Chains A and B, each alone.
Chain A
């Protein structure tokens, strides 16, 4: 039985939202975000109508996915979690064996009718799997459960690193870590892990590829690579900084329009936005992102099953991590890892998976049962 909140006296739009099982506030924020994305994209792509149309088509697919997943009760998803995870890992193996390359990495899988990156699917399938695992255990998790969680997390992460796609692997691993955190891993265990990580950092350094090391070194000293990643960071910072308070106006950013910003429609689209809309624009955009994350956390905290809570929380925090990694990267706080700005950057699979994730969140919100404490 559903929460009978809507009544005939309410605003007709609310009734529709309720019928669609979406959360009004969250839904509106997403729409605002996507619309501003199209506006920036128009500028970043140099007025490419074709790109806008393609992006619109993806948005349509994405929102359809959102509405579809909003109708599926979380309990249903729960029962699929294990299998989706297994399929996801199998797809990742398949990518390594017979995937298609792009930009020097093997990330794409071509199924004949559709071409996609299985690593993107893992962004949602991994937290589903982990939420399922911990929902079956007594929480806070024992050391053994934490260990198993790490195994579940590391398998897909390692496969994605192998492609190689450091950016996505970090985000996927992050999604898993968020589940472990939300499941209630004790603080002293976290402290031990952080300590271990710091201690093994030099070893990890050894395993990074040359260009990955280069990106980290470049962050520390952008001048060291005036043409490579350093160039990207320098140009991006100039774009953001020259935006000032009010920005240079839509379509008027010289950094953007004269091609100084690399990958300006995808990874560096935030720089274009900043240059043209200034600090007012960037702070508003950041607020919208913050609102979405917090709203997601609230929805998750209200959920009644352990699975729904963990999954909802992990989705919200993952979304946050995408935003943080991207803005941190283009503003020169984090290394360049090739992560798009969620719901704004030009690109297919990530847009659709993100909206589907929000569909899941909506479902968690609307499928609460009337159950007293």
Chain B
């Protein structure tokens, strides 16, 4: 062929095309010969083999749905199990006139519009000889009624199925999540074979996260049929493999105590065992009954939950993002020690406000007259804002950000569930990319007392507290502490997984902030001294108050005149016993006012219940103070 030319050479192109067309025709013919050879192979060479198979083809294969694994609490109490229920099932291929049949059935069985809708969709999706359920949860009366009339309805039957059931109702809604009917989107991502016959899939929480383990493996039933396709007898059964049972680290009783302690307030409590990351209590209030969702919640009930201004569906413990307020101070103090910006005994005079040099803006302390002379210990114990404004200014945002990141603030804690929120640990880089604005020095000042852009989840605060309790070490928080495969008797413990350590230059720094946190609770001027009375063990804690709305520079925040939904969130973090920490927790009471007044007493109740109460919750005697 000639060298490349820029003009189209029509004649050459025609020839080129003809060459390709002829080649294509040859390839096509070759492929058809291949197909014919295949058909010859099947239809003539192996005809008798397939003829025999076809003649013997009187066996149909049906799926056997595996039993979903149980979910238990630490003491073996059931949190999720399966209860039998009766469903009305139809085999479409055996029904001549579907709409007449349904109309007739509706005479004595209450068939709702959405059930009919779902049935029609399912029929389209499945093979016509597969049973499809028209109505779930038949009443005893309906079962009896149908049993009498059954002979008039070929192709219709009653099948016993098991439905997921959550005996603890609301208490564990935000931990377990729930299962629900498989929708079209989920179907696309599921292993169709393993889910033949399965109607439910985990939608949220543990149920979703451990779907693979809980579901199990489908089994098969080979059923012989007659020439008209009616089932005669079961020839062979390959049993299904039930899902794994899962044991959570949570303690039902402690969960209840925590809920009761929170009372009618909206908020969250997360308690963790610092020795292994076990989540002991995980409360988000208000909550909902997950049983409602299993067989499809009605539109009305759902919109009630969704539209409630208290947002019961919102998992505050996991995705509620709150400014940490003063609970962040111990960690900021630790950063100050680590970077050598300050030292424990250094004193300063803390007046009523702080000013950046050369700026007018006053950063006020929560205490009107200021705290006077303070050092690190008393600044934490009394929650002195001015001390931390000063410290934050000296640290700078970059070092603060770098240090706080180690406590998994602004990052996922990787609790074994789904949808965890990251919170926000602000930095100049973040602000530039997210807001397109530069970082202002004043923002560093308020970050040091956990206000401004900073957001944390109650879960993150609990993890941070556990880090402090362990002096820099921590295990990944976890719900699941042990699993039991279907064919085994005993639960097998999961190994705790260490998280990256928090590094400080001198291990003694931990003692400094621990002592200060002990003083928060046990010193005469500690902000949480109210919960000190008759405690038989030593608590380290820190109060916090998160502003819901900004107050102008010279305005006063007045609890009496502020409407409830604009009142501050009350926060409290604590761990105990200090000598040998067994529990670390974070409490957030939405619009609760002050951390010391509202959140700290809640925390004390949970600590008591775990460390003293009944003494069965964790099985260890507590050293007294």
Residues in A neighbouring B128, C-beta threshold 8 A: 259
Q: Is A214 an interface residue (CB 8 A)?
A: yes
Indicate if B189 sits at the interface (CB-CB under 8 A): yes
Q: Is the CB of A241 within 8 A of B49?
A: yes
Q: How far is the CA of A333 from the CA of B17 in the complex (A)?
A: 31
**Chain B hits for A328, CB < 8 A:** 35, 38
CB distance from A233 to the nearest CB of B (A): 12
Q: Which of A105, A181, A209, A331 contacts B39 (CB 8 A)?
A: A331
A63 at the interface (CB under 8 A from B): no
Contact with A along B1-31 (1 / 0, CB 8 A): 0001111111101101110111011001101
Q: Are B16 and A244 in contact (CB under 8 A)?
A: no
Q: Determine if A242 and B54 form an interchain contact, defined as CB atoms under 8 angstroms apart.
A: yes
Hey, which chain A residues are within 8 Å of B29, CB to CB? 290, 294
Given contacts A101-B185, A283-B39, A333-B38, contact A138 B53 (CB under 8 A): no
Measured CA separation A258–B226 after assembly (Å): 10
Given known contacts A259-B128, A313-B21, A324 and B31 CB-to-CB distance under 8 angstroms: yes
User: Is B24 a contact of A228 with CB atoms below 8 Å?
Assistant: no
Q: Is the CB of A104 within 8 A of B50?
A: no
Q: Answer whether A227 and B184 are a contact pair too, CB < 8 Å, given A181-B20, A282-B39, A290-B28.
A: no
Q: Does A356 contact B (CB under 8 A)?
A: no
Known A-B contacts A242-B54, A260-B57; A104 and B16 likewise in contact (beta carbons under 8 Å): no
CB pair A320–B188 under 8 Å, yes or no, is no
Nearest CB of chain A from residue B479's CB, rounded to whole Å: 26
A5 to chain B, nearest CB (A): 21
For A228, give its contact among B20, B28, B193 (CB under 8 Å): B193
Measured as residues with beta carbon below 8 angstroms from the partner, the interface class of chain A is 35 or more
Q: Is the CB of A104 within 8 A of B188?
A: yes
Report if B61 contacts A (CB, 8 A): yes
Contacts A138-B4, A301-B18 given; does A244 touch B47 at CB 8 Å: yes
Q: Does chain A have a CB within 8 A of B102?
A: no
Pairwise interchain contact B43-A239, C-beta atoms closer than 8 A: no
Q: Which residues of chain A are within 8 angstroms of B40 by Cβ–Cβ distance? A: 279
> Measured between C-beta atoms, what is the minimum distance from B97 to chain A in Å?
12
Q: Is B129 an interface residue (CB 8 A)?
A: yes
Contacting residues, chain B, for A121 (C-beta < 8 A): none
Residue B51 at the chain A interface, CB threshold 8 Å:
yes
Cα distance A209–B191 in the bound complex, in angstroms: 9
- Interface bits B117-154 vs A (CB < 8 Å: 1, else 0): 00000001101110000000000000000000000000
Bound CA–CA A214/B39 (angstroms)? 25
Residues of B within 8 A of A (CB): 4-11, 13-14, 16-18, 20-22, 24-25, 28-29, 31-32, 35-36, 38-40, 42-44, 46-47, 49-51, 53-55, 57, 60-61, 63, 93, 124-125, 127-129, 184-185, 187-193, 196, 218, 220, 225, 227, 229
Residues of A in contact with B (beta carbons under 8 Å apart): 101-105, 138-140, 142, 164, 178, 181-182, 184, 209-211, 214, 225-229, 231, 235, 237-245, 254-255, 258-260, 262, 274, 278-279, 282-283, 286, 289-290, 293-294, 297-298, 300-301, 306, 309-310, 313, 316-317, 320, 324, 327-328, 331, 333, 373
Name 26 A/B residue pairs within 8 A (Cβ), A-sorted. Answer: A103-B184, A104-B125, A104-B187, A142-B4, A182-B21, A184-B13, A210-B190, A227-B193, A227-B218, A227-B220, A235-B57, A238-B54, A238-B57, A241-B47, A241-B50, A243-B47, A244-B47, A255-B57, A274-B42, A279-B44, A289-B32, A294-B28, A301-B21, A306-B8, A310-B17, A331-B42
